[in-house]
Structure 1
Amino acid sequence: MTETDTAAFDWQSFLRAWSEEWADSLPDDEARNEEDETARRARWLGFPPASEERITAMEERLGRRMPPSYREFLAVSDGWRHAGGFVWLLAGTGDARWHDNESGLADLFEEYLDEDAGPEERQEADLWRRGLQLDVESDVTHVLLDPEDVDENGEWAVYTWSSWLAAPPERHTDFAAFMREMYREFHSLRAGRREGAPEFVNDTTRRLDAQVDRARLEALCGDWERAAQALDEAKEYGRPRATGLGDQLRRLLGQSSGVDFEGLVTDPRYAPELLPPLVAEHASHSHWDDSTLTYRLRGADDDLVALAYATLEQVRDGTYRYTATGPFGEAVERARELARWGDADGAWQVLRDAVPLWEPLGPDHLAPLGWVADPLLGPLATPERGRELLSTPRGGQVGEAPTPTTPLDPGGLAWLAEPDPGNNRRTFRFVLVEGVDPQDLPRRLADGDSDSDSDGDGDGGEKDGAGGGAELSEPLTSWEARRRWLDGRREFSSYDDRALMSVGRAGAGWSFAFDGEPAPFGGQRFVSPATRASAGTRAVVVWSGLRRGHGESYFHLSVARDGTEQYAFTYVDGEVRQSGEIPPALDPSRFFFGGPRGGGETERALLEAVAGEFGVHLPRHAITHGRLHTFTTGSWTRPPGEGETYMVIRMG
């Protein structure tokens, strides 16, 4: 039955079941007023039914025919006690009346309207003048039927509002939908068993608990949509486990606000998987006050709270590492190594292929979750990939494998010619080196008197952690790397152009070093690093400023092998300088004959040509959203010659 299918709604059965469940939930020794005690003994929260004559008399008094679902309710019970937890008496034929701004709330809501508020907003504020009031006794909770919010069946919407809730009025499609919601509210409040109260077990709770059990198996089989729907319904009734299970699905679908894995995160069995994403969400929104973290860990013992704060510290400093057992855990390590060097799609494929081998930590564990807090694996998470993971049978269950999601990286180099979300990437430069690992790039590109970090894990890096010399930093976001690189610097010189570069793999047999915020192009003093990078191999350098918003536009390409430049060209504002035998595919006359065709169009064509000539690509997702090792290169400019000047800026 849908929310609007009131014609088929069985009010008698619905209200009778509600009354009996309410009566059974009351402690025998609880103090009650006479009306409630009578209702408990009668096992009936309602009143005698209203006759058609009585309903018609009410309608004549009010001047309107009542909506169908409210009329049908009155014909079964002329009013209702304890509609949810905060409305103690709901109006029948004798008590329903026009609110007529009795509460003064129309004036209050109108005060908050902007001068440019539209008709819909003003109509919402006017609800307090036109609404039919149904609350007779309540905890400052108003229930109004709106005669101007009418559907095709003649049903009036119901609005509820409580002064102690910082929220706008809540809309229910009709009176039956409102009563169903109040019934769920009753269940939710009773589900948290009070001391001395009878165990809250009845046909409804048994049905919902069995539904939760089925949903758990459906989720493990990959049918997460059916599972999510069943768990959401059980959650509305306050059933144990429903929120904790449903939150696992919600988190992988990209929802983090309000997700706290209720009842499971404080279980030591599940804490290794559920604490990290909870802590990561806290870290992303709370920088000064960590006391709210303990609020989300209600019921946790001291050891678990200590683990949460230790994990929080690791998440904040980027040292948290997700681990898992068995074959899936082995795949996690392989995926991290791929992600470390920029292969986001390859890393995801490794994780995805291993999901069927994953085993839960306990009966209420639905999917691997801790990886979303890992600094290297977390950037792989998208809502689409979350759906793919959840659609994959796992934990010993069988089912059909889902269709793989679209890769995050487009391949090639042309994406660099597209505006980035902030339209900040107008210039960039990169170095490609063939046949070497990324951790070898600092030795080739930094000053010759520095040694590289031999294993590339960043453990031997500079104190600033941002690649302050020939050693690789730990993996950092581009923002973190540049912040650390600039931190403490007091001198900036046009004489020395040392680049902060991210490194990774650029396809089969190639490594890259990329700078997305280069200094101004060096012009006559520019020296391509391709020569020193190409010792014993081949190196390619690209520096583009074709889409600059002001100043000269430029593009440089140079290729070297075994320490000797093979060919190069530099375009600067309509002029091309070139040397060596340039392959036809890269001939600058193809791109700059008669001037560039337009910065972005020419840049794209050049980048496509470079990618095709060398079979390379740069990983967009890792560069823009992930974490990569960084280091600082040697200068891209030669020392000034006789008569040349340069500028030094010293700060502080």
Structure 2
Amino acid sequence: MTDVSEDWRTFLTRWSQEWADAQGAEEPAGDEESKPDRRLDFPAASQERIGALEERLGHQLPPSYRTFLAVSDGWRHAGGFVWLLAGTGQVRPHEDAAGLSEYFPGELDEDSAPEDVLLAGMWGRALQLDVESDAVHVLLDPGDVDEAGEWAVYTWAPWYGDMPRRYGSFRAFMEAMYREFHRLQASSRSKRAGREFVNATTRALDESVEAARLDALGGRYERAATALAEAVAFGRPRAAGLHDQIRRLLGETYMVSFRGLADDPLYAPEIMPVLVAEHARTRRGEDLAAHNLPGASGAVREAADQVLEQLRDGSFRYTAEGVFGRAVEEAREQARWGDTDAAWHTLRAALPEWRPRSPDHLAPVGLCADPLLGPVITPERGRELLATPRAGRPGEVPPPTAGLDPPGLAWLADIAPGNILSSYRFLLVEGVEPAGLPSRIGVDESTVLNDPVTLWDARTRFRRTDDVPPWADVALTAVGRAGPGWSFAFEAAPGGNAVGPRFLSPGLAASRGTRAVTVWSEPFRGHRPGLPHVFHLSVAENGEERYGFTVRGTTTDSRGPVPGALRPDRFFPPDTPAEDRRGERLALDALATELGVALPRFALTHSRLHTFRTRPWNRAPGPGEAYMTVGFVSRRP
């Protein structure tokens, strides 16, 4: 007990002295009792007084609060909003005095979480410790007890705007209030008042921030993050800006602001676009500066507006200097054709050569804003990036993480129903670069590649134009590389009549002077019993179909000399259930093995690819043939 009491005494003495030093020559208004000796504590409570309190309450007090009272019978200025904490003579049952149990946690049922049930009963059984405060309730809960006998402390104020805050013990609560005191002293309010807040605690924390910066550059990001989080809790300058860089690369976006770096002209080119990109994703139509750049200069705000416009039209590009900058350009070229794994390997290899813009720059966090490279930096790769020594710092290079793209094509058959990729059609063209596909299968001679977009945006933004006949089954298709020597053109959820009577594969035109493969899959959907599972595969060469087959339900139509490895009877036996996609998976796997091709899952599901509008996947209707447009059946005269 002596050691614990001495620990409390040391902690409280330091807090009290730092508080007194922070007041300077000013006397704290409305605090007459603390003026003579400028202390926050009170004389210790005797064991008799503590025992009498326990007898009055009918509880033995938890260890940390009991020991606290034996050192100081109450406390002034616990943080910035609790002006007086109860001693032995002021502790009282709360008895839900404010009627808060009606609102927190709300109505309970048999599925309520244990913590909600615990909170519901807290208001009636807790002891109230706040005596004077800014409407802050401080409640010690005898029903929320850990293995050491410590009771949880809950705080709540109407201006919190969220649920009550829980601390595991009274000591944990007091340590949090000590950190709050530091944060407020380090805030701009204190600086405007002309007070310098420097003491042994702040000096030690600032040294830990600098050590953490060097740790982070050396790849020891977990140790750096722990030290920076502690410094952030104390409100130390630099800490939040450094810590947020680590958090963002780990995939965290909540409350990431880079504290002052985004509106600093030195850091803004790297940091500001990351905030703008998040704003464009989550706060469309709202004012940019108010949310992300409240203290920025006019020049920085103007630059942010330009970045926002570039992000919305897809033209923003992250840039860097030197060797790493050249790797960024190479990686972008790889990513825009779907090879995001190669893009990451290119970036990773150049990471040791990355150099910060200035001392508080830890990593190329600006990559997160790049429309093409941002998706490549997954949280797992963010950890790998942070674990790689940079800026000339020594350290051990981590082993590479596994790629995100499975080999081959079979993964398409594993997509769950309802996903945009659960039905699809694509072309594979040999010996032709993706940029050359529009000239082969574009809707007309003027067809060009659009800027890269996500597959979802490609689908939702696609609009038919007046120059397309109403019967024409045109597609907005995504393009990229499908392995050595092959390109692909892919459309998700094509809809329509899969491989209908007027089907005309664009693969015929795509195969001029080469080979082209056409695949179309429309899985069985139980709510549409009239439409069976359809799987089509055909290979064309020099403008003519060489072989192919179409499986429709239990019927298979084969054409030409289908190679043994691709024969449909190997994959689709007649008794296959309608919802079974194993045959499709086997066929795709065989095709990938036969040709050495693959489709990039990550690029199709998470990243951006160039798109263009194809020529129709069907022929014009003949005289008297019916066709469907927007839900109406039409007939050509």
Q: TM-score, normalised by structure 2?
A: 0.93
| Residue pairs, 1:62-141, within 5 angstroms | 62-109=57-104, 112-114=106-108, 118=112, 120-141=115-136
Q: What SS does the aligned partner of 2:159 have? A: coil
Q: Is 2:286 the partner of 1:305?
A: no
Correspondence for 2:258: 261
Letter in 1 for 2:224: A
Q: Is 2:626 the partner of 1:634?
A: no
C-alpha contact (below 8 Å) 2:412/2:422 kept by paired residues: no
1:374-416: per-residue Cα shift (whole Å, max 9, x none)? Answer: 1111111211011010000001112111121221111210111
Which of 512, 515, 520 aligns to 2:488? It is: 512
Correspondence for 1:461: none
C-alpha contact (below 8 Å) 1:113/1:122 kept by paired residues: no
Q: Is 2:7 the partner of 1:10?
A: yes
- Tell me: CA distance 1:77–1:487, structure 2 relative to 1, closer, same or farther (3 Å): farther
> What CA distance in whole angstroms lies between the structure 2 residues aligned with 1:236 and 1:409?
40
| Residue pairs, 1:246-645, within 5 angstroms | 246-291=243-288, 293-420=289-416, 422-447=418-443, 450-451=445-446, 470-486=447-463, 493=470, 495-518=471-494, 519-549=496-526, 550=528, 551-596=531-576, 599-645=580-626
Q: Greater shift after overlay, 227-236 or 564-573?
A: 564-573
> What CA distance in whole angstroms lies between the structure 2 residues aligned with 1:34 and 1:8?
27
Letter in 2 for 1:356: P
1:580 shift after superposition: 2.1
Letter in 1 for 2:489: A
Letter in 1 for 2:162: A
> What CA distance in whole angstroms lies between the structure 1 residues aligned with 2:6 and 2:385?
39
- Tell me: CA distance 1:195–1:602, structure 2 relative to 1, closer, same or farther (3 Å): same
> What CA distance in whole angstroms lies between the structure 2 residues aligned with 1:527 and 1:296?
52
Correspondence for 1:177: 172
Q: What SS does the aligned partner of 1:524 have? A: coil
Letter in 2 for 1:163: P
1:155 shift after superposition: 1.4
Letter in 2 for 1:286: R
The number of equivalent residue pairs is: 623
C-alpha contact (below 8 Å) 1:472/1:630 kept by paired residues: yes
Q: What SS does the aligned partner of 1:143 have? A: strand
C-alpha contact (below 8 Å) 1:508/1:616 kept by paired residues: yes
Q: What SS does the aligned partner of 1:103 have? A: coil
> What CA distance in whole angstroms lies between the structure 1 residues aligned with 2:144 and 2:337?
58
C-alpha contact (below 8 Å) 1:427/1:548 kept by paired residues: no
Instruction: Report % sequence identity.
Output: 55
Letter in 1 for 2:455: S
- Tell me: CA distance 1:436–1:251, structure 2 relative to 1, closer, same or farther (3 Å): same
1:187 shift after superposition: 0.6
Correspondence for 1:238: 235
Correspondence for 2:49: 54
1:7 shift after superposition: 4.6
Correspondence for 2:635: none
Letter in 2 for 1:556: H
Q: Is 2:22 the partner of 1:25?
A: yes
1:117 shift after superposition: 7.1
C-alpha contact (below 8 Å) 2:5/2:68 kept by paired residues: no
C-alpha contact (below 8 Å) 1:546/1:603 kept by paired residues: no
> What CA distance in whole angstroms lies between the structure 2 residues aligned with 1:338 and 1:386?
19
1:642 shift after superposition: 4.4
Q: What SS does the aligned partner of 1:57 have? A: helix
1:607-630: per-residue Cα shift (whole Å, max 9, x none)? Answer: 001100000001111112211111
> What CA distance in whole angstroms lies between the structure 1 residues aligned with 2:570 and 2:99?
75
> What CA distance in whole angstroms lies between the structure 2 residues aligned with 1:390 and 1:479?
30
Correspondence for 1:463: none
1:345 shift after superposition: 0.5
> What CA distance in whole angstroms lies between the structure 2 residues aligned with 1:323 and 1:30?
53
**Structure 1: segments with no counterpart, 5+ residues:** 452-469
Correspondence for 1:464: none
Which of 208, 212, 219 aligns to 2:209? It is: 212
1:491 shift after superposition: 7.8
1:526 shift after superposition: 1.4
Q: What SS does the aligned partner of 2:426 have? A: strand
1:427-481: per-residue Cα shift (whole Å, max 9, x none)? Answer: 211111111100111111135x514xxxxxxxxxxxxxxxxxx211111112222
- Tell me: CA distance 1:271–1:289, structure 2 relative to 1, closer, same or farther (3 Å): same
1:227-273: per-residue Cα shift (whole Å, max 9, x none)? Answer: 00000000000001111100000000001121010021121111111
Q: Is 2:163 the partner of 1:186?
A: no
C-alpha contact (below 8 Å) 2:118/2:143 kept by paired residues: no
Letter in 2 for 1:271: A
C-alpha contact (below 8 Å) 2:34/2:40 kept by paired residues: no
- Tell me: CA distance 1:546–1:194, structure 2 relative to 1, closer, same or farther (3 Å): closer
Q: TM-score, normalised by structure 1?
A: 0.91
> What CA distance in whole angstroms lies between the structure 2 residues aligned with 1:287 and 1:520?
37
> What CA distance in whole angstroms lies between the structure 2 residues aligned with 1:429 and 1:108?
53
